[in-house]
Structure 1
Amino acid sequence: MPASDFGSLYVASEWVIRLVMLLYIPQRRSAAAARTWLLLVFLLPWAGVALYALFGRIYMPKKRIEMQARASALILEVQGQMPPQSVWQGEGLPDYLRPLPGWAASLGDFRAFPGNRVELLTDYRGMLERLIADIEAARRHVHLLFYIIEDDASGRAVGAALERARLRGVVCRVLMDAVGSSTALKRLAPAWRTAGIEVRATLPVGVFRRNAARFDLRNHRKLAVIDGRIGYTGSQNLVNPEFVPDLPNVELTARIEGSVVSQLQAVFLGDRYFETGETLQDDDHFPIDIPPGDTPLQLLPSGPGYQRENAEECLLGLIYAAREEIVIATPYFVPDDAFLQALRLAARRGVNVRLIATQRSNSRLTHLAQQSFYEELLEAGVKISLYRSGHLHAKHLSFDRRIGVVGSTNIDIRSFELNAEVMLLIYDAAVTARLRDIQATYEADAEPVLLSVWRQRPAWLRIAQNVAKLADKLL
Structure 2
Amino acid sequence: MSILYKIINWVIFLGYWIFITFIIIKILNKRRTIPYSLSWILIIYFLPLFGIITWVFFGELYSDKKKDKIASIILPQTTNWLKSLKINKSFFNIKNSDVASSVFKLCKNRQSLSGIKCNKLELLTSTKKIIKIIIQDINLAKYNIEMVFYIWKPGGIVDEVAMALIKSSKRGILCRIILDSAGSIEFFKSPWVKIMRNSGIQIVEAMKVNLFRIFLRRIDLRQHRKVILIDNYIAYTGSMNLIDPLFFKQSLGIGQWVDIMARMEGPIAATIGIVYSFDWEIETGKRILPIFNTNYTKNNFKNKNIIQVIASGLGFPENMIHQVLLTIFYSAKKRLIITTPYLVPSDDLLHAICTASHRGVKVTIIIPKNNDSLLVHWASKAFFTELLESGVKIYQFKKGLLHTKSILVDNQLSVIGTVNLDMRSIWLNFEITLIIDDKLFSKNLYCIQKEYINNSILINKKLWNMRSIWKKIIEKIFYFFSPLL
Give the aligned partner of residue 234 of structure 2. 230
Match of 1:28 among 3, 16, 30: 30
Give the match's secondary structure for 1:111: coil
Equivalent-residue separation in structure 2 for 1:286 and 1:175 (angstroms): 26
Alignment of 1:122-141 (within 5 A): 122-141=125-144
Partner of 1:277: 285
Letter aligned with residue 81 of structure 1: S
Indicate the residue corresponding to 1:244 in structure 2. Answer: 249
Where do 5+ consecutive residues of structure 2 fail to align?
A: none
Does the CA-based 8 Å contact 2:333-2:410 persist in structure 1?
yes
Alpha-carbon deviations, 1:39-61, whole Å to 9, x = none?
Answer: 23333445433321111102222
Counterpart of 1:166 in structure 2: which amino acid? S
Matched, 1:340 2:343: no
C-alpha distance in structure 2 between counterparts of 1:74 and 1:120, whole Å = 33
Size of the aligned set, in residue pairs, is 474
Matches of 1:273 and 1:421, distance apart in 2: 16
Q: Distance in 2 between matches of 1:172 and 1:18?
A: 48
Q: Which whole-Å deviations, capped at 9, do the CAs of 1:157-199 have from their partners, x for residues lacking one?
A: 1110001101211111111001111221231211110111000
* In 1, Cα distance between equivalents of 2:24 and 2:217: 25
CA distance in 1, matches of 2:117, 2:74: 23
| Structure 1 residue 89 displacement after superposition | 4.1
Which residue type is aligned with residue 318 of structure 1? I
Counterpart position of 1:406: 416
Equivalent AA in structure 1 for residue 270 of structure 2: S
CA 1:209/1:274 → structure 2, altered by over 3 Å: closer, same or farther? same
Amino acid at match of 2:146: H
User: How far off is 1:207 after superposition?
Assistant: 3.5
Give the superposition deviation at 1:86: 2.9
Displacement of 1:433: 0.9
Moved more, 47-56 or 240-249: 47-56
Confirm or deny that 1:220 pairs with 2:224: yes
Matched, 1:466 2:469: no
Name the CA distance, whole Å, in 2 between partners of 1:109 and 1:210. Answer: 34
Measured in 2, the distance between the counterparts of 1:93 and 1:189 equals: 46
For residue 290 of structure 1, the aligned residue among 298, 309, 314 is 298
Distance 1:150 1:97, change over 3 A: closer
How far off its partner does 1:309 sit?
2.1
The residue number in structure 2 matching 1:268 is 276
Question: The residue matched to 2:263 in structure 1 has which SS?
Answer: strand
CA contact (8 A) 2:274 2:290 kept: no
Alignment pair present for 1:70 and 2:73: yes
Structure 1 stretches lacking a partner, 5+ long: none
Partner of 2:201: 197
Between 403-412 and 179-188, report the one with greater CA deviation. Answer: 179-188
TM-score (norm: length of structure 1): 0.94
2:438 equivalent among 406, 428, 435: 428
Q: What residue identity is the alignment partner of 1:263?
A: T
**Secondary structure in 2 matching 1:404:** strand
Quick one: structure 1 residues 286 and 459, their matched pair in 2 at CA, closer, same or farther if it must change by over 3 Å?
A: farther
Q: What secondary structure sits across from 1:231 in the alignment?
A: strand
Residue 12 of structure 1: how far off its partner (Å): 2.9
The worse-fitting range, judged by mean Cα deviation, of 334-343 and 72-81 is 72-81
Separation in structure 2 between the aligned mates of residue 29 and residue 382 of structure 1, nearest angstrom: 29
Structure 2 partner of 1:329: 339
Q: Which residue number in structure 2 is paired with residue 352 of structure 1?
A: 362
Please say if residues 36 and 474 of structure 1, whose CA atoms lie closer than 8 Å, have aligned partners that are also in contact.
Answer: no
Moved more, 7-16 or 272-281: 7-16
Q: Which stretch has the larger CA shift, 38-47 or 122-131?
A: 38-47
Q: What is the Cα deviation at residue 208 of structure 1?
A: 2.9
Task: Give percent identity, aligned residues only.
Answer: 28
| Amino acid aligned to 2:249 | V
Q: Which residue of 2 aligns with 1:443?
A: 453
1: CA distance, partners of 2:213 / 2:459: 47
Residues 114 and 295 in structure 1, CA contact (< 8 A), matched pair in contact too: yes
Deviation at 1:139, TM superposition (A): 1.0
Instruction: Measure the CA separation in 1 of the matches of 2:314 and 2:376.
Output: 22
Displacement of 1:392: 0.1
CA shift in 2, pair 1:391/1:210, >3 Å: closer
Deviation at 1:466, TM superposition (A): 1.1
- The Cα shift of 1:211 comes to 10
Partner of 2:383: 373
In structure 2, what residue type is equivalent to 1:446? Answer: S
Task: Give the counterpart letter for 1:264 in structure 2.
Answer: I
- Is 1:114 equivalent to 2:124 in the alignment? no
Partner of 2:212: 208
Alignment of 1:311 onto 2:321: yes
